[in-house]
Amino acid sequence: MALLNDEIQGVAAPERVPHWGIRPGTTTQPVSLRRLVGGLPVVGPLVRRARRAVWPTYAFARVEAVDERGRVGNVLNYAKARDTAYSALPYPAGYQTVRLVDGSEIAGQRDPAQRVALIPIDLQGKTVLDLGCNQGGMLLALREQIEHGIGIDYDPRMVNAANRVRANLEAANLDFYVFDLEREPLALIRDLIPGGQVDVVFLLAVCMWLRNWRDVIDFARSISDEMIFESNGTQKQQAEQEAYLRGRYRTVTLLAAHSDDDPRQQQRMLFHAHQ
Ligand SMILES: C[S@@+](CC[C@H](N)C(=O)[O-])C[C@H]1O[C@@H](n2cnc3c(N)ncnc32)[C@H](O)[C@@H]1O
């Protein structure tokens, strides 16, 4: 029988792991159709070639940069190349306004500083986890107050942009990771957080994009007593999100009935949830 790409002849087949993930102490992964097909001679290379044809590389015209602002600008522009609703293509910085160490600003669709000003919690010395952080704008705006910020997003270009701005601002207390809230085990987020718990979770304008948003709220509740939550989507979706939040937390306070910081879309609501 043909060997899969990374199988070694003579080594006993590893025990199959019946769940997503890697068994501690081994590098065994569950059997996957993609891996099986990809490893087949002739078929594997054909499938890879077809995939490259269907999903071409990102169209992106890099501008030769003469300074730091230009270099960061290129990374921000590249982060928009995915062109989703939250790429905010018409805005130079994308979804979130970016401020650099020299005090200059690159405009985005939403200025995180305006939402930060609505947060009623004293975040001095606190640990904050931002789920679906985009370019890290909320944590970057809070970098001088908080002790540690961890931002996660499933879009690697957004996370690259967050890291690039973090480097410009020399914000060593922030970490940004690629993580898919729908497809990866939520409990693994605990391992991205030193201490396994945080003081506050941000879940802002993310739920309409997630099928498992209820699980994500439950997970947030399991690692922190407090959450700053922004609902998004249709009125019905937002009503469902608010009702779920109120059912899970002891107190839920409305902080803003509209997202006035966004000139394009003001129909989001901001809440503070506490258990
Ligand atoms: C509308 S933006 C909100 C960004 C940020 N929370 C804010 O309010 O400024 C939605 C964000 O959720 C992220 N996102 C969508 N689906 C995700 C998933 N499955 N896992 C992790 N992040 C996701 C997107 O990449 C995007 O950055």
Q: What is the CATH number of the domain that holds 255?
A: 3.40.50.150
Return the percentage of the chain with pLDDT > 90, whole number.
73
- For the chain, how many structural domains are there in total? 1
> Ligand 1 center to residue 134 CA distance, Å?
5
What tens digit of pLDDT does each residue of 222-235 get? 999 999 999 999 99
Please check whether residue 163 lies inside any domain of the structure.
yes
What tens digit of pLDDT does each residue of 113-167 get? 999 999 999 999 999 999 999 999 999 999 999 999 999 999 999 999 999 999 9
Which of 178, 209, 219, 228 to mutate for ligand 1's pocket (most ligand atoms within 8 Å of CB)?
Answer: 209
Side chain identity, residue 116: V
pLDDT surpassing 60 at residue 173: yes
Instruction: Read off the pTM.
Output: 0.84
Please check whether residue 182 lies inside any domain of the structure.
yes
> Ligand 1 center to residue 227 CA distance, Å?
16
Please check whether residue 242 lies inside any domain of the structure.
yes
Burial class (CB in 10 A: 0-12, 13-18, 19+), 71: middle
Are residues 173 and 197 in contact, defined by beta-carbon separation less than 8 angstroms? Answer: no
